[in-house]
Amino acid sequence: MENDRHIVRGVVAGIVGGLAASWVMNEFIAGPGVKLQHLAQSGEENQREAEEAKQMKQSGEPKIDATMKAADAIVHAATGGRHLSLEEKQKAGPVVHYAFGALMGGLYGGLAEYSSIARSGFGTTFGSVLFTGADLVAVPVMRLSGAPTDSSAGSYATPFAAHLVYGATTELVRRVVRFIL
C-alpha cells in the first residue's frame, strides 16, 4: 500500500466504506446496541426514558432526532425559510445520516492513504474521534441536541459503541474496495 498511494481511489474507497458503515451502524443501534445502552444506564434513567416514550406516544408526537433537525435546517437555509413537514423530516433524516457517513468515510479514506495513524485501531480510533467531534461537540453546538452534560455518561455507551462499529466497518470495506481499485 505504501507504494500504491492514490488520493482519489482512497476517497472513493472511503465513501463506499462510510456508506456501508452507516448502514451497519443503524443495524447495531436497532439491535444489541439498545440493550447495551439500557445496561449502562441507571434504573432512574431507564424509567425516565420509558416515561418520555409513554408521553410521546400519548401526545402523538414522534421523536425528532438530530439528522431530521439537520435536514430541516439545510432546507430552511437553502430555500430562504421553508421548513420540512414531519413526513419530509422522516424521509430526509436518513439521507443526512448516509450523506454524513459517506462524507466522513471519504475523508477517512483520503487520510488513510497517507497516514497509518488515521488507520490505527482498525478504524476504531477514527470512530471515536468522529463520536467526540460530531456527537459531543458539533451536534450540540449546532443546537441539534442538548448539551453532553444533559445526559449521564452511561447514556453515551450505545452511540460510542456504534461509532466504533462505524469506524471498523469503514476500514474493513475501505480495505476491500482499495484492494480492488
pLDDT of residue 37: 54
pTM for this model (two decimals): 0.82
Cβ distance 171 to 123 under 8 Å?
Answer: yes
Task: Report, as an integer, the average pLDDT of 47-64.
Answer: 61
Task: Report, as an integer, the average pLDDT of 162-174.
Answer: 98
> What is Dmax (Cα atoms) for the chain?
61
Say how far residue 39 (Cα) sits from the centre of its chain. Answer: 21
pLDDT in tens, 81-104: 999 999 999 999 999 999 999 999
Q: Is the pLDDT of residue 17 over 90?
A: yes
Per-chain mean pLDDT for the chain: 88
- Measured from the Cβ of residue 82, the count of other Cβ atoms closer than 10 Å reads 11
The sign one gets for the Cα dihedral 82, 100, 97, 181 is: positive
Whole-number Å distance between alpha carbons of 74 and 81: 10
Tell me the percentage of the chain whose pLDDT exceeds 70: 82
pLDDT in tens, 115-167: 999 999 999 999 999 999 999 999 999 999 989 999 888 889 999 999 999 99
| H helical segments located in 41-156 | 43-59, 66-79, 86-114, 124-130, 139-141
Task: Report, as an integer, the average pLDDT of 40-64.
Answer: 59
Cβ distance 170 to 126 under 8 Å?
Answer: yes
- Measured from the Cβ of residue 24, the count of other Cβ atoms closer than 10 Å reads 19
pLDDT of residue 176: 98
Enumerate the domain spans of the chain.
7-180
Confidence of residue 31 (pLDDT cuts 50, 70, 90): confident
